[in-house]
Amino acid sequence: MISFSGHGIIPRSRLHSVREELLQFLLEESNSLTSEVFKSFSASCGKCPNICYLLWMDTEATLEVLKCAFAQDSIEPRDELSGTVNTPASEDEDGIVAGNPGSQNNMVQNVMDAIVDIVGLENEVIRSVVMGTADSEFWPSEKEFGYLIEFVSFFVSHKRAIASKRVVMHILTYLTSSYDDTRARTQKEKEVLQLFNAVPRNDWNSDFVLNLCSDAHFHQVFYHCPVRVIPVKFL
């Protein structure tokens, strides 16, 4: 049994199913559009899942909780799990029943798809929502957008989720333009190289990628970039 700070306990065998149920609720469309923010977003996006409210309240904290929920699973690429989606749940050494890796990756993909929809990453221009009465109060802010794109990039880079060419373009544009010092630039370059290893070559446009990385002074890219000779139109 696991205690939640004195507010109740839950059997360890129920952890996986509870996580699935909570995520299912968060990804459902909200039935209580009582605020102007919800109404505004629903009007512009066509739907507004429950997770929106948590992201608007605290983008960083919400994504950290989600990341922890998935990161505790073993990082197993999707392409290595094609034959395990229908495998039964297994018990660990403590007898705790865990969902199969394919199911866990499906949850990751569903959350990522919801975030892509919320922010409009399939569009050329990112979606913004008016958060207050003042026209200047928009969500996501530049900082909040960074949290969102890093979340998506993390799971795509670890092959836990799949992104479209348009989404990959937004990730790459962010990673090559969002650093303040040499240390941050080195970290972003590593993330770009991880992305290269995860995304199929046909999803890259060599000129687009190399121009961005050249402007960002990502020198390792020119030795490891898998798209140097691939003349594929990106968009």
Residues 26-58 have pLDDT tens digits of 999 887 656 676 777 776 677 788 898 899 889
- Residue 158 and residue 75 share a domain: yes
- Please count the other Cβ atoms lying within 10 Å of the Cβ belonging to residue 159: 19
Q: Do 232 and 179 fall within a single domain?
A: yes
- Domain termination site, one of 104, 128, 163: 163
Q: What is the pTM of this model?
A: 0.76
Q: What is the pLDDT of residue 231?
A: 38
Instruction: Name the band, by pLDDT with cuts 50, 70 and 90, for residue 222.
Output: low
Question: Tell me, what's the pLDDT at 114?
Answer: 93
In a domain, 2, yes or no: no
Which of the listed residues 163, 192, 223 is the one where a domain comes to its end? 163
Residue 3 domain-assigned? no
Question: Are residues 42 and 153 part of one domain?
Answer: yes
Asked if residue 231 and residue 123 are part of one domain, the reply reads no
Separation CA 189–CA 162 (nearest Å): 20
Backbone dihedral region of 5: left (phi > 0), alpha (psi from -120 to 50 degrees) or beta?
left
Asked if 60 and 128 sit in the same domain, the reply is yes
Tell me how crowded residue 155 is: count the other CB atoms within 10 A of its CB.
Answer: 25
The verdict on 143 and 194 lying in the same domain is: no
Which residues, in sequence order, are bridge partners of residue 130? 138
Is there a single domain that holds both residue 70 and residue 100? yes
Considering the domain architecture, whether residues 210 and 121 belong to the same structural domain is answered as: no
Look up the domain containing 30 and give its range.
9-84+95-163
Cross-strand bridge partners of residue 202: none
